[in-house]
Copies of this chain bind each other. A is one copy, B any other.
Amino acid sequence: MRTVEWEKGTVRLIDQTKLPWELTVVGYRDHERLAEAISKMVVRGAPAIGATAAYGMALAGLTSEAETMDALRSDLADAAERLTLARPTAVNLVWGVERQLQLARDEQWTTADEIRAALIREAHAIADEDVATNKRIGAHGAKLISDGNTVLHHCNTGALATVDYGTALGVIRAAHEQGKQVHVLVDETRPRLQGALLTAWELERLGIPFELIVDSAAGHFMSTGQVDLVLVGADRIAGNGDVANKIGTYSLAVMAKENGVPFYSVAPRSTVDLSLPSGDQIPVEERPGEEVTSLFGKSIAPEGATARNPAFDVTPHRYLTGIVTEKGVVYLPFDLGLRRVMEGEEA
């Protein structure tokens, strides 16, 4: 199944807080509970939450009791606000919601029910596009991987972080499907261990060889010549190419540059936010300190200890080798390249 699916008025999510031990699917029948699920990271990964939010808008349409188009549009605006607040950093969330709002505003509709039906169709379209987009990203990115390469990967950017197939992990998957030998060094990705729990699970199922490492060991493997390429995802890419991504990405990028290891951010164009001139304007989500001080309900610090827990960091574009999109790989100067692919041209 896909990470996010629609079945008769229910949004179904693979519960990513239960993996790799249980493959559980949870159903949501209103956008309010779905927004909570996004906040609690039942679903995570920028493209996946973009599609989930689009389905959330479809749910909001269905559950609204509005009889007129204006009343429905007003309910949708409220739902949009609630969904957008679920997580602040990934722009895909805003993108999915905005696309639905714009659709609802279209002048072609004559009844509220027409809008309701259109929102469901559009959510499906967004989900299908995401899968197709990721496969194109994979095809472009796989060219960067040579037979026998070791790729360092951070967080989870696989099928679980998207509707299906994945972004950075999709690139690795595409290279593997082309018959290339690829070995993956998987950053465990504290605090929530998406690498150890989700990426390792996906790689095992795909039959791609990997080894886990603690996040702080990545630099050691780069400086000792054991990494050919670093591939990470993105939660928001500013107009100048600065990338917000899972905490730890910035350090990887600095270390990669220092050691002459190519470093690519891999993301669909829905992650690009040209409205922001640089990464300084990207809001970085600070999550509860308990994600650091406890693990699976067990405390891993003395009682009373507090923690800082920024969920993301911003990597200045000067550390990037390139940005892999469904329109090809964007290289320096990133501002021009990003503008070009956002206008629909090939990179």
Interface residues of A (CB under 8 A from B): 20, 185, 187-191, 193, 196-197, 200-201, 204, 210-221, 223, 247-248, 250-251, 254-255, 258, 289, 292-293, 295-296, 298, 300-302, 304-310, 313-314
Determine which of B215, B298, B302 lies in contact with A214 in the assembled complex, contact meaning CB atoms within 8 Å. Answer: B215
Least CB separation from A301: chain B residue: B196
**Is A214 a contact partner of B196 (Cβ separation < 8 A)?**
no
**8 Å CB contact of A306 from B212, B296, B310:** B212
A300 in contact with B211 given A190-B190, A251-B251 (CB within 8 Å)? no
User: Could you list 26 A-B pairs, sorted by A, with CB under 8 Å?
Assistant: A188-B190, A189-B216, A196-B292, A196-B293, A197-B300, A197-B301, A201-B302, A204-B302, A210-B305, A211-B289, A211-B307, A212-B293, A212-B301, A212-B305, A212-B307, A212-B308, A214-B248, A214-B309, A216-B251, A217-B247, A219-B250, A219-B251, A251-B251, A251-B255, A254-B254, A254-B255
Partner of A217, one of B248, B293, B295: B248
Q: Contact: A313 with B250, CB < 8 Å? A: no
A201 and chain B: residue at smallest CB distance: B302
Chain B nearest CB, measured from A127 CB (Å):
26
Main secondary structure of the interface of A (DSSP, over half): mixed
Residues in B whose Cβ lies below 8 Å from that of A197: 300-302
Q: What residue of chain B has the Cβ atom nearest to residue A185's Cβ? A: B308
Contacts of A223 in B (CB 8 A): 250, 313-314
Residue of B nearest to A299 (CB): B21
Query: Which of B204, B220, B254 has a CB less than 8 Å from the CB of A304?
Result: B204
- Per the bound structure, the CA–CA distance linking A215 and B218 in Å amounts to 11
> Using Cβ atoms and an 8 Å threshold, which residues of chain B touch A185?
308
CB of A40 to closest CB in B, whole Å:
19
Closest 4 CB pairs of A and B: A216-B248, A219-B251, A220-B313, A212-B307
